[in-house]
Structure 1
Amino acid sequence: MKKTVIATALLAVSASPVFAAAENYSIDTPGMHASVNFKINHLGYSWIVGRFNDFSGNFVFDEDNAANNSVDITVKTASIDTNHGERDRHIRSDDFLDVSKFPEATFKSTSVTKDDDEGEYVVKGDLTLHGVTKPVEFEIEQVGAGDDPWGGFRRGFEGEMEVKLADFGIDYDLGPAAATVYLEVHLEGVRK
């Protein structure tokens, strides 16, 4: 009788539908397949574009339940690169990022919700920049997922958020056109 109960239980479990579980990913090496970029308006005439060359992070993805999703990124602020040495030194100074006092900027999600059936999500979280932590919200979109040539599995997202410099205590006057920085992330993760 005991064997029959165990066999029945095993059959019931094997016949149940398989549900996807939350998957953990490490963000791929910066410069390889992930990037944190930004742009800021220059005098209302054009854009200054740059990136951060040193960052790390992880994300969790659950296709069936967006509430299980999360992302955590740490950026080394001294790694800022606008392809202009003198400008980069100024941005690293206490006029802007003050990298000696605030060597890292972080983003930690507090919630993720699915926006539609096309792979778009709304991410809310805490952005810490220049020693100030503020809640922010942005949309991300899944770019794709699948096996890689090295035997791993990868998943990628992209998104953009607006950051008002004054909200984070950066009050150097660049004119009204440069009050907002647009952060753009491209995150390719390798499943752990």
Structure 2
Amino acid sequence: MLKKTLAALALGTALLTAGQAMAADYTIDKEGNHAFINFKISHLGYSFIYGTFKDWTGTFSFDAAKPEDSKISITLNTKSVDTNHAERDKHIQSKDFLETDKYPTATFVSTSVKPTGKNADGKLTADVTGDLTLHGVTKPVVVKTVFLGEGKDPWGGYRAGFEGTTTIKRSDFGKMMDLGPQSDTLTLDITFEGVQKK
């Protein structure tokens, strides 16, 4: 009886350990420039301004069999904002908007991942909820995410890729220059590959 109990415990421990081992940790491939955080915002309701953040890093943990256990953490350098117009970039960095001297980084840390099925292309989708800290204010946001795929790369590594989108209101993240209601909503588009840590 004791032998059977010990055998069952050993088997249960092995299965649990195997399940835990399936989740892998990744570093977002910013060094290879396979990662982008882009944004879009209305300019006074007359046109749209597009931009990107050039300097950011991140890590995530992912297992396609249990996406609900995934985690992600991102840190970006707010001074790396680029809208293809140097004077506008300086203005965005100023006290009128991001105050980058006072708040040099923005962060996103996931708090939950809820699988939502598959998109029209058969790709897994999920709502990734997390805390976004921007301009000294932390608010929960939901990123609509698509798992693009995973596999070996030509350089001996293993990669997984995602894209996601969310919208935020500038007015939720501290006092910034008021450009009217049409310029309050900012759309963020994120896409990246992660390289599995060895």
Asked if these proteins are the same fold (TM beyond 0.5), I'd say: yes
Task: Report the counterpart of residue 48 of structure 2 in structure 1.
Answer: 47
Residues 1:156 and 2:161 are matched in the alignment: yes
Task: Report the counterpart of residue 22 of structure 2 in structure 1.
Answer: 21
Name the CA distance, whole Å, in 1 between partners of 2:31 and 2:165.
17
Distance change >3 Å, CA 45–CA 153, structure 1 → 2: same
Task: Report the counterpart of residue 141 of structure 1 in structure 2.
Answer: 146
Instruction: List per-residue Cα deviations over 1:145-171 (Å, max 9, x = no partner).
Output: 111000001111001110100000143
Instruction: List per-residue Cα deviations over 1:119-175 (Å, max 9, x = no partner).
Output: 101100100000000011121001121110000011110011101000001431112
Residue aligned with 2:60, SS: strand
Task: Report the counterpart of residue 107 of structure 2 in structure 1.
Answer: 106
**TM-score, length of structure 2 as denominator length:** 0.85
Runs of 4+ in 1 over 4 A off after TM superposition: 17-20
Task: Report the counterpart of residue 87 of structure 1 in structure 2.
Answer: 88
Once the two structures are TM-superposed, the CA of residue 49 in structure 1 deviates from its matched residue by 0.4
Give the residue type in structure 1 aligned to 2:179: L
Name the CA distance, whole Å, in 2 between partners of 1:19 and 1:177.
47
Residue aligned with 1:78, SS: helix
Task: Report the counterpart of residue 66 of structure 2 in structure 1.
Answer: 65
Contact 1:30 1:55 in 2 (8 A): no
Contact 1:121 1:140 in 2 (8 A): yes
Q: How many residues align?
A: 183
Contact 1:78 1:99 in 2 (8 A): yes
Task: Report the counterpart of residue 166 of structure 1 in structure 2.
Answer: 171
Name the CA distance, whole Å, in 2 between partners of 1:42 and 1:19.
48
Residues 1:97 and 2:98 are matched in the alignment: yes
Show structure 2 runs of 5+ residues with no match: none
Residue aligned with 2:138, SS: strand
Show structure 1 runs of 5+ residues with no match: none
Instruction: List per-residue Cα deviations over 1:78-128 (Å, max 9, x = no partner).
Output: 000001000000000011000000000000000001110431011001000
Name the CA distance, whole Å, in 1 between partners of 2:69 and 2:93.
36
Residues 1:36 and 2:41 are matched in the alignment: no
Q: Percent identity?
A: 51
Q: Which moved more, 1:79-88 or 1:20-29?
A: 20-29
Give the residue type in structure 1 aligned to 2:108: F
**TM-score, length of structure 1 as denominator length:** 0.88
